């Protein structure tokens, strides 16, 4: 969505009044109050946490870790070459299915999209994206920039303004998940759909130190009811055996210990190479075991729900 097109959806965080925003040079400015927010590479910074690159660590380890995190790890995790990757494949497939079925070209607010692949499911002219760089422990690359840098607990979005909202693995990274769910409900129009995805009861800690909660199914259902959201469909992309395999993969391949120094990082790359041979077979085994084992909605890594905001 072009930044000029998005102005009609925006407001000051924590203020329900409709401002009169306009863009001047690299700033979004409220004509009435004069309050402004900087724009970086097309991103409106409502949090104020963004800083220019400044001094970077140019050691080889830093460069290697940045390349691995942004160009290898993030792409491999949703393939059969990563343990439990089949769960992420199923999650992407289900998200696309729901978008195709329930979104008919109306404006969508996408909070914390993981990658451009997910954004390809939506018309870019109809999608506004949000990330919170104050809750990140890595510096963004230019291609990582969303439309808005804002807190999920205090969205700078007018109430009842978006037809649909997608919240993608956000709840575990906010200190008050209920507040985020309230914000989702506030910004979506009555009758609009919300696509909620997040960790289940065995999802590993990630993006430390900004990982606070794993929400169980009953917790999701309770928050839906509290916010007048009707559950339409729910989905478990990673059932028990796939979830267990994902935990094994995290421990053996993506363990943060490997970032200790250059030697351990090279050790990780060796294990990473060997995992390409092992985990496709283990993914197949986990998939078959999940088919054969009755699933009692326990021991799952992730949860997806399609909910609709009831009319007042």
pLDDT for 258-269, tens place per residue? Answer: 877 778 878 888
CB 306 within 8 A of CB 233: yes
Q: Name residue 38's beta-bridge partners.
A: 27
Angstrom distance (rounded) from CA 67 to CA 48: 26
pLDDT of 261 reads 78
What's the burial of 206, exposed, middle or buried (CB within 10 Å: 0-12/13-18/19+)?
middle
Full set of structural domains in the chain with CATH: 3-50+59-240+295-309 (3.40.50.150)
Does this model's pTM top 0.85? My answer is yes
Tell how strand 148-149 and strand 162-168 pair up: unpaired
Q: Reply yes or no on whether the pLDDT at 309 is more than 80.
A: yes
Q: Reply yes or no on whether the pLDDT at 106 is more than 80.
A: yes
Place 138 in a pLDDT band, splitting at 50, 70 and 90.
Answer: low
CA nearest to 301, candidates 312, 288, 290, 292: 290
pLDDT for 216-236, tens place per residue? Answer: 999 999 999 999 999 999 999
Angstrom distance (rounded) from CA 33 to CA 21: 10
pLDDT for 28-80, tens place per residue? Answer: 999 999 999 999 888 999 998 665 544 444 456 656 666 766 677 778 888 99
Tell how strand 43-45 and strand 108-111 pair up: unpaired
CB 205 within 8 A of CB 211: yes
DSSP-assigned states of every residue in 132-170? -GGG-SSPPPGGG--SEE--TTS--B-TT-EEEEEEES-
């Amino acid at each position: 969505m072009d930044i000029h097109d998005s102005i009609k959806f925006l407001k000051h965080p924590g203020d329900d009044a409709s401002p009169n925003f306009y863009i001047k040079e690299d700033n979004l400015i409220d004509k009435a109050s004069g309050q402004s927010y900087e724009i970086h590479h097309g991103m409106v910074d409502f949090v104020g946490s963004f800083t220019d690159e400044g001094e970077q660590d140019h050691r080889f380890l830093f460069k290697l870790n940045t390349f691995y995190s942004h160009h290898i790890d993030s792409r491999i995790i949703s393939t059969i070459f990563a343990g439990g990757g089949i769960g992420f494949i199923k999650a992407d497939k289900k998200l696309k299915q729901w978008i195709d079925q329930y979104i008919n070209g109306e404006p969508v607010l996408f909070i914390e999209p993981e990658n451009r692949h997910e954004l390809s499911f939506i018309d870019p002219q109809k999608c506004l994206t949000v990330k919170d760089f104050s809750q990140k422990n890595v510096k963004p690359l230019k291609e990582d920039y969303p439309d808005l840098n804002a807190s999920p607990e205090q969205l700078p979005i007018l109430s009842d303004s978006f037809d649909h909202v997608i919240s993608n693995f956000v709840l575990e990274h906010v200190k008050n998940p209920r507040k985020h769910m309230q914000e989702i409900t506030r910004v979506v129009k009555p009758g609009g759909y919300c696509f909620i995805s997040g960790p289940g009861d065995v999802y590993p800690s990630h993006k430390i130190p900004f990982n606070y909660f794993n929400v169980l199914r009953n917790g999701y259902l309770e928050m839906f009811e509290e916010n007048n959201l009707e559950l339409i469909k729910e989905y478990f992309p990673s059932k028990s055996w796939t979830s267990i395999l994902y935990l094994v993969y995290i421990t053996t391949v993506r363990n943060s210990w490997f970032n200790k120094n250059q030697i351990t990082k090279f050790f990780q790359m060796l294990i990473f190479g060997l995992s390409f041979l092992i985990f496709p077979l283990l993914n197949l085994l986990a998939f078959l075991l999940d088919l054969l084992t009755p699933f009692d909605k326990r021991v799952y890594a992730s949860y997806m729900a399609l909910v609709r905001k009831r009319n007042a």
